[in-house]
Structure 1
């Protein structure tokens, strides 16, 4: 039986949620960024803002120069999580297995459900209509025989509400799209492949597995398989994705950056140690901070590739501190949370260039310290 996997892709999800709450934002250029300083960076940008030259990661002062009418809103992670849960609840009656991906984005497995719910294309169209009708959120849906092709379909053909890639059509569908559209082809991999004039997914597929592995290492074979539309990863429910937490109540209220970075480094070391004990890796890091006036700040960062090492966890925590904690009010508590990857993702997402000697030594050092 052919697998039928869907991917639900809300368009600029956090901003779509904000627009659902405030109609005045409709049609206006909108960006999400922590408040308190014009050196904060953009977390998300609406299509209107993107057309004006605003990009994710751009400092606010630069974004305002490019788009003086830009509406800047502080991110509200708890609100977006509730919206994501509401979206997943719409899928639940007709999609037996659901796996949340990036915030608001969802994989679903429809394999074997045709007699119960009808053709997958009809189910996908119904899901899209219900999400719009009940939540007011625009989404595109990709349908394919695996996760990677359904995700690409939902992202690259956004004008089409539902994109169905039939079995056997995967290589031809993927071939004309840029390598950046292929999950796992992060920037450092694309830089390596660009030296060999490989810029499209089809160009990567045209190489042999041996050729790709000679450039990217043995794990490059997985990326090569994905370029051919092959991805055996199952859709896994969220119950199989655990989270680890490390928190600290600060002995003295402070907004001293060095002190906060030191505290976060300790928390990152604690999380790294717990991950290695579990023989697990994390692909998402979240920061939650509480100010002395009891207001809160949140941030998150995808860890790509997934890691169990202290150094990349601490580096991500520092970046989150700089992005999310922008008020000049002292903090009283901080918490880091890692979301663990599934076993399948750990095994099949090793696309990075072969680990440099420094990284290998760092892993060995962490292991020695743990003992």
Structure 2
């Protein structure tokens, strides 16, 4: 029995904008479009959604529904950067990750030993880490079946976790509306309703022969999903490029010497342990230090090298810390960049 988590960021683009500009908080906000030209929205926050504002909605329609709507331009490079940070958090729990977009992904945590292997507690910790470190919220669905994890992630939004344990799969599917199944769109759902197919139990009461004769491949899909069949693997779509560790402090730190001690005595041993399996057939291309300040601005200093060198990491910390101009530090991290997979194993050296 697999343990699948689907993590979906809450109103991702607009949440990043509000995080970076707190003056937008508690106001209806949308990303994209323009008051002076035609366009469509990328996404909107939950306040705007109360007015009926939705993603992909023409700006003119959105402004009619919510005249006070605040429009902000999108910053795709920023969203990509934050998405990479989210990915780094995922990788603390598993390497089996299937990103669907910048703001959602499947994770297979079947072999994760954290929290005694509890997928529920792992999902809760992922969401908690995203909120604590990135000041953003995510929702997660947990299930033994891939498509159900995605369905579940939408049931306790925002900032919630919904779990479908194995014993509840059949009853959940029985009462699940077919429009919840990924791939069943509005038009398709209307056609299903015409034939009195609304819930999972309606498909179960039908027959595979009838469904395939009526709907072709869609009929097979409906039959499989409603009978709890979805053995699609989590498709790991990219090679891991880095390994890192970081720590968010209970209280912000201003003393550089304390930060250096944390780097040497806490982060470095943890990085060595975490990097071990990735260095069997990979090399190191660079090392780096990340510092996030009390105002959530962050900076990274990197150095090209094929070794993990403590002296260089300490110097990178000094340079990164100086960029804060006296601001306290809320998070410190170190990382290594990995070279592409090699055909032959090389010995990696550590200069402690």
Q: TM-score, normalised by structure 1?
A: 0.60
Q: What SS does the aligned partner of 1:32 have?
A: strand
Q: Which stretch shifts more, 146-155 or 158-167?
A: 158-167
Structure 1 residues 281-310: Cα deviation after superposition (integer angstroms, max 9, x where no partner): xxxxxxxxxxxxxxxxxxxxxxxxxxxxxx
Aligned ranges for residues 24-103 of structure 1 at < 5 Å?
24-35=23-34, 37-103=36-102
How many residue pairs end up in the alignment?
Answer: 239
Q: How far is the alpha carbon of 1:219 from its aligned partner?
A: 4.3
Is 2:235 aligned against 1:233? Answer: no
SS of the equivalent of 1:20 reads helix
Matched-pair contact (CA < 8 Å) for 2:9–2:139: yes
The 5 Å alignment of 1:307-346 reads: none
State the match for 2:173 in structure 1.
174
Q: Does 1:145 align with 2:144?
A: yes
CA contact (8 A) 1:83 1:104 kept: no
Cα distance change of structure 1 residues 32 and 236 upon mapping to structure 2, 3 Å threshold: same
* Cα deviation digits, residues 127-150 of structure 1 (max 9, x gap): 111000001111111111121011
The 5 A counterparts of 1:300-311 are none
Match of 1:245 in 2: none
Contact between 1:182 and 1:201, CA under 8 Å: does it hold in 2? no
Task: Please state whether the residue corresponding to 2:18 is helix, strand or coil.
Answer: helix
- Large movers: runs of 4+ above 4 Å: none
Output the CA distance in 1 between the equivalents of 2:49 and 2:235.
Answer: 33
1:139–1:115 Cα change, 3 Å: closer
Structure 1 or 2, whichever has the larger Rg, is: 2
CA distance in 2, matches of 1:78, 1:118: 35
Q: Distance in 1 between matches of 2:86 and 2:159?
A: 20
The whole-number CA distance in structure 2 between the counterparts of 1:36 and 1:65 is: 11
Asked if 1 retains the 8 angstrom alpha-carbon contact of 2:138 and 2:158, the reply is no
- In the TM superposition, residue 67 of structure 1 has moved relative to its aligned partner by 0.5
Q: Which is bigger in relative contact order (C-alpha 8 A, separation at least 6)?
A: 1
Q: Are the aligned partners of 1:32 and 1:42 in contact in 2 as well (CA < 8 Å)?
A: yes
How far off its partner does 1:66 sit?
A: 1.3
Distance in 2, matches of 1:46 and 1:119, equals 31
CA deviations on 1:298-336 (whole Å, 9 max, x unpaired) are xxxxxxxxxxxxxxxxxxxxxxxxxxxxxxxxxxxxxxx
Structure-2 residue corresponding to 1:20? 19
Counterpart for residue 211 of structure 2? 212
1:184-238 Cα deviation digits (max 9, x unpaired): 1123321221211223333334322222212211442123211233211111212
Q: Counterparts in 2 of 1:145-294, with a 5 A limit?
A: 145-158=144-157, 161-239=160-238
Closer, same or farther: CA 14–206 of 1 in aligned 2, 3 Å = farther
- Please state how far the C-alpha of 1:165 moved relative to its aligned partner: 1.2
Secondary structure of the corresponding residue to residue 43 of structure 1: strand
The equivalent of 2:9 in structure 1 is 10
CA 1:185 to 1:43, structure 2 compared with 1: closer, same or farther past 3 Å?
Answer: same
CA contact (8 A) 2:41 2:55 kept: yes
Q: Does the CA contact (< 8 Å) of 1:189 and 1:216 recur in 2?
A: no
Q: Residues 20 and 136 of structure 1 are in contact (CA less than 8 Å); yes or no, is this contact kept in structure 2? A: yes
- The runs of 5 or more residues in structure 1 that have no matched partner are 241-371
TM-score by length of 2: 0.63
SS at match of 2:225: helix
